[in-house]
Amino acid sequence: MMDTVITRWMVAFLIFMGMGATAETLRPGDAIRVTLRGVTADEQQRINGEYTVGDDGRVSLPMLDGLVRATGLTPSGFARVVEKSYKDGGIYAFPAIDVVALKEQKAAGAVISVGGHVKRAGQVPFRQGMTVIQALDAAGGRDPYAGRNILLLRGGKQYCIDFKKLAHKSIVLRANDSLQMEMKAALIDRWKGKDEEVKSLIGN
């Protein structure tokens, strides 16, 4: 009898651990919904809403002096950090925070602009998780004159990525990014970018 109880407990524990291991963590660009409970309705309205994880992996929340780190945390883990931030700041004594990732939601009307040496330049519908190669495929793929250099325009910054590198083609895009497929160089088609500049895009 005792062995059966222990076995069942171990199975339940392993299932719980497996669920925690597969929980998806937050990344820059992720949209989240924050809900505050345990305070008055007026206070809830000050906090409740949708926020975006910044390029630096942090989130700006009302009444907190500093930004709150989100990357690498699950939504529930981030919620616990936010609760602690409000407590430590003396803002709320017993805040109860719920955080939901909105990764499955499609940004209404959001697009990726694809231009340069592709077969169908223009805008393609954005979907969560879309990669560089998927956006290029949606534009009909590269034309015969396309080179290896792709310019990615995001948030007022420009990055040069390399079509010949799998990690670069797998970079996850964000709503309203722009891609420009450059022409193949006449002599040697070299990548014009820098590893340190692209590193922040890979895996985000």
| pLDDT tens digits, one per residue of 65-118 | 889 999 999 999 999 999 999 999 999 988 899 988 876 444 556 889 999 999
Rounded Cα–Cα distance for residues 113 and 35 (Å) = 34
Nearest 5°: the CA angle 190, 193, 196 is 135
> Which pLDDT value is given to residue 7?
46
Q: What is the mean pLDDT of residues 39-50?
A: 83
Domains of the chain with CATH codes? 2-101 (3.30.1950.10), 111-198 (3.10.560.10)
- pTM beyond cutoff 0.85: no
Q: What is the mean pLDDT of the chain?
A: 83
